[in-house]
């Protein structure tokens, strides 16, 4: 049966709408191009050196408590020795290399010794200066001490009898170098966000994790020039937030009534957001598109941000466009939840941050927005790891 001209044209127009949506979807979900060597970040995570120092202090202190007792032949005597040390001071700071930090530490305690029946203890001070490399292994962040640069042992000579005394400093220095050089990497967490680039950058103000997301846009962030007010800070470009909503929406596809959601623009200002979107009717009878601008509020729920749509304004539309509830479709598509999910994946998770029986995680206290970025900040919480329950 031959179709009349008006109906034929109408169906052709409908096919054009379906094709436009398919083209748009392919663009959004396409693999972004590879990065050039000198790429710029669209996400920056800043970590406070003082808090990093405290976390490293915990790990080094645990290692010191496990220093082994040992025996050594010195001047014809067999001497048993065991150092007992605690970290009095440990400080992490910027280093010349972008992927390194400088560590200076002072350890204090005593050296317990024995020769035959005679035993004693001597005050002991160890001063250390070295660089440590900040490592990235597919999003797994850790700090690993390099070869010790400077290690100074302050220990009085040990008098084993009225006529003989022994300088144990060289031996103790060798022992400390061996123990510290075998210190395992200190895990700083795992970033699970799909990214194209991730690198470490040690700056005078903070340790930075610079990220280029898998969102294809040309804008980037510059290094924040102000000192940290919290223990961590996360900066995300607003175009990256938009890209996350688009990926979420097009991955979901049709969410109801044959309609798919297409976020076009996103602006966040203070506690409010404005989301421009196009609704595509691509299934069933009568294909069309209609544009809206949704406005809503942002609030903090525990350690996450929650975006809630409040109102919509109608915009352009195709001929014979139907009516739907945009806020209901936004909720059904979970595109606003996608922002919260991706922000959570941009900071190190606490699943893989166990350090010698401790777990640490980043807790969000505050958030703010600028013209081109959303900023989250907070504290780094440390707690004892829970022991696995016995079955």
What is the pTM assigned to this prediction? 0.83
- The closest of 219, 192, 240, 243 to 39, measured between CA atoms, is 219
Domain endpoint, select from 137, 167, 188: 188
Domain assignment present for residue 66? The answer is yes
Domain assignment present for residue 261? The answer is yes
pLDDT tens digits along 323-358: 888 888 888 777 788 788 888 877 775 444 555 566
N- to C-terminal Cα separation, the chain: 71
Give percent above pLDDT 70 in the chain: 89
Domain assignment present for residue 1? The answer is no
Facing residues of 232 across strands?
A: 47, 378
DSSP string computed for 89-145: EEEEEE-SSTTEEEEEEEEEEEEEEEETTEEEEEEEEEEEEEEEEEEEETTEEEEEE
Domain assignment present for residue 204? The answer is no
pLDDT tens digits along 91-130: 999 988 888 899 999 999 998 888 878 888 889 999 999 9
Domain assignment present for residue 62? The answer is yes
Confidence at residue 151, expressed as pLDDT on a 0 to 100 scale = 86
Facing residues of 376 across strands?
A: 234, 367
Check whether 17 has a pLDDT greater than 80.
yes
Check whether 236 has a pLDDT greater than 90.
yes
302 shares its domain with 162: no
Facing residues of 90 across strands?
A: 105
CATH code, domain with 85: 3.15.10.10
243 shares its domain with 375: yes
Domain endpoint, select from 120, 155, 188: 188
Domain assignment present for residue 131? The answer is yes
Alpha-carbon span 148 to 129, nearest angstrom: 7
pLDDT tens digits along 160-219: 665 567 787 888 888 888 877 777 787 777 788 889 999 888 889 898 999 999 999 999
Total structural domains in the chain?
Answer: 2
Name the residue range of residue 246's domain. 229-391
């Amino acid at each position: 049966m031959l179709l009349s001209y008006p109906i034929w044209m109408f169906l052709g127009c409908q096919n054009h709408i379906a094709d436009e949506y398919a083209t748009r979807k392919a663009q959004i979900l396409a693999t972004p191009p590879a990065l050039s060597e000198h790429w710029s970040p669209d996400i920056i995570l800043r970590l406070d050196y003082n808090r990093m120092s405290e976390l490293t202090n915990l790990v080094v202190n645990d290692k010191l408590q496990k220093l082994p007792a040992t025996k050594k032949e010195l001047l014809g005597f067999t001497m048993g020795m065991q150092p007992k040390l605690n970290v009095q001071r440990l400080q992490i700071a910027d280093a010349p290399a972008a992927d390194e930090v400088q560590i200076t530490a002072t350890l204090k305690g005593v050296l317990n010794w024995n020769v035959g029946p005679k035993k004693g203890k001597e005050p002991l001070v160890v001063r250390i200066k070295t660089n440590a490399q900040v490592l990235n292994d597919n999003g797994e962040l850790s700090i690993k001490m390099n070869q010790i640069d400077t290690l100074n042992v302050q220990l009085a000579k040990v008098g084993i009898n009225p006529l003989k005394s022994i300088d144990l400093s060289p031996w103790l220095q060798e022992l400390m170098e061996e123990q510290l050089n075998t210190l395992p990497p200190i895990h700083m967490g795992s970033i699970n966000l799909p990214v194209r680039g991730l690198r470490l950058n040690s700056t005078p103000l903070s340790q930075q994790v610079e990220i280029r997301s898998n969102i294809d846009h040309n804008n980037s962030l510059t290094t924040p020039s102000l000192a940290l007010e919290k223990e961590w800070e996360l900066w995300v470009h607003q175009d990256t937030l938009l890209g996350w909503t688009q990926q979420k929406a097009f991955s979901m596809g049709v969410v109801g009534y044959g309609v798919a959601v297409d976020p076009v623009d996103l602006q966040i200002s203070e506690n409010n957001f404005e989301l421009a979107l196009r609704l595509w009717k691509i299934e069933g009878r009568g294909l069309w598109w209609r544009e809206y601008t949704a406005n809503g509020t942002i609030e903090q729920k525990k350690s996450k941000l929650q975006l809630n749509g409040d109102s919509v304004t109608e915009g352009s539309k195709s001929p014979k466009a139907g009516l739907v509830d945009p806020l209901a479709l936004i909720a059904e598509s979970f595109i606003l939840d996608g922002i919260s999910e991706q922000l959570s994946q941009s900071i190190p998770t606490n699943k893989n941050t166990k350090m010698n029986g401790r777990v640490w995680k980043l807790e969000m206290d505050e958030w703010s927005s600028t013209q081109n970025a959303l900023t989250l900040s907070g504290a780094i919480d440390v707690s004892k790891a829970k022991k696995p329950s016995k079955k």
